[in-house]
């Protein structure tokens, strides 16, 4: 088994509504299934969606953590995480978006540094706008997962952002084409999409992963792949999600 302590994975996109936060939480669920210790941090500091998605009570947030580090009140790592399961911990976004504006890049780096050795994987779910938190998350990542759909606005914005990242010598980007966010025929071919974004597509989430009446399951406040009602362990698409998770942490050859 490889030593994978502190692998930082950032999930980002160029447009809202592409399934980024659902994928980030599902990825945490995959690592839970693989018995990896994972920390999921909501880096959308203005209006984070993880707490809403999972019905979390925000007793302490990333702002409380930042403020306590800044003022030398930081004591115990566990004081600031929500224990979702035996393997998943979560640091929620700010209660007030004005708090998010106070968190600087150095503070974010300190937070990641403080927790890095305690987890196999740290997943950063960013906003789709280029905020300070989003840009720092990209800079400190081992892998950047870029979620894209076949929406033309999304594709053009993605092309622009990928160009910027490449100009900054980022060679750790994996593009995920999400065809599971709707149950319709795909308008653009894979070749068309690659031509627009001028980048390879590393993974495709197929239409078969589309969940009818998804809001019914989201109301449960559970990570979808861990929701017993959806029977993740018997799902035909589970092997693909596990393959993605294992490849991201270098466990491609491990048998589950």
186-207 pLDDT per residue, tens: 789 899 999 999 999 999 999 8
Containing structural domain, residue 63: 7-248
238 in a structural domain: yes
Per the domain annotation, does 1 fall within a domain? no
pLDDT at 6 over 90: no
Nearest alpha carbon to residue 193 among 232, 148, 236, 237: 148
pLDDT tens figures, 84-135: 999 999 999 999 999 999 999 999 999 999 999 999 999 999 999 889 999 9
Q: What are the DSSP calls for 2-47, one per residue?
A: ---TTEEEEEEESSSSSSHHHHHHHHHHHHHHTT--EEEEEE-TTT
* Inside any domain, residue 52: yes
Please give the average per-residue pLDDT across 150-163, as a whole number: 94
**CATH number of the domain encompassing residue 244:** 3.40.50.300
148 pairs with which residues across the strands? 177
**Does 140 fall in a domain?**
yes
Q: Out of 2-6, 121-125, 220-224, pick the least confident.
A: 2-6
Mean pLDDT of the chain: 91
Is the per-residue pLDDT at 256 higher than 50? no
Task: Note whether residue 254 is domain-resident.
Answer: no
Q: 232 in helix, strand or coil?
A: helix
Residue at 253 is within a domain: no
Of the candidates 197, 121, 151, which has an alpha carbon nearest to the alpha carbon of residue 15? Answer: 151
DSSP string, 194-223: HHHHTS---EEE-GGG--TTHHHHHTTTS-
Do the domain assignments include residue 2? no
Q: How confident is the model at residue 234 (pLDDT cuts 50, 70, 90)?
A: low
Q: What is the mean pLDDT of residues 41-58?
A: 91
Q: Does 174 map to a domain?
A: yes
| Structural domain total, the chain | 1
pLDDT of 58 reads 78
Q: Is the pLDDT of residue 236 over 90?
A: no
Residue 27 pLDDT greater than 50, yes or no = yes
Q: Averaged over 130-141, what is the pLDDT?
A: 93
CA dist., res. 196 & res. 118, Å (int): 40
Nearest to 42 by CA among 120, 107, 125: 125
């Amino acid at each position: 088994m490889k030593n994978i302590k502190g692998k930082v994975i950032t999930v980002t996109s160029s447009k809202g509504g592409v399934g980024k936060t659902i994928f980030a939480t599902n990825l945490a669920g995959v690592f839970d299934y693989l018995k990896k210790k994972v920390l999921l941090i909501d880096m959308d500091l203005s209006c984070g969606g993880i707490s809403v998605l999972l019905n979390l009570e925000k007793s302490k947030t990333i702002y409380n953590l930042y403020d306590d580090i800044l003022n030398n009140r930081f004591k115990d790592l566990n004081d600031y995480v929500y224990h979702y399961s035996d393997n998943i911990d979560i640091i929620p976004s700010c209660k007030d978006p004005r708090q998010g504006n106070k968190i600087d890049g150095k503070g974010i780096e300190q937070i990641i540094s403080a927790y890095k050795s305690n987890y196999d994987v740290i997943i950063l779910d960013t906003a789709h706008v280029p905020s300070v938190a989003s840009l720092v998350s990209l800079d400190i990542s081992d892998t950047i997962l870029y979620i894209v759909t076949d929406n033309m606005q999304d594709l053009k914005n993605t092309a622009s952002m990928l160009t910027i990242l490449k100009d900054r010598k980022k060679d750790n980007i994996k593009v995920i084409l999400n065809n599971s966010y709707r149950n319709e025929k795909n308008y653009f071919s894979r070749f068309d999409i690659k031509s627009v974004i001028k980048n390879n597509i590393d993974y495709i989430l197929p239409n078969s992963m589309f969940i009818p009446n998804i809001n019914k399951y989201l109301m449960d406040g559970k990570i979808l792949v861990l929701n017993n009602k959806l029977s993740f362990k018997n799902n035909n698409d589970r092997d693909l999600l596990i393959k993605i998770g294992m490849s991201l942490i270098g466990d491609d050859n491990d048998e589950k």
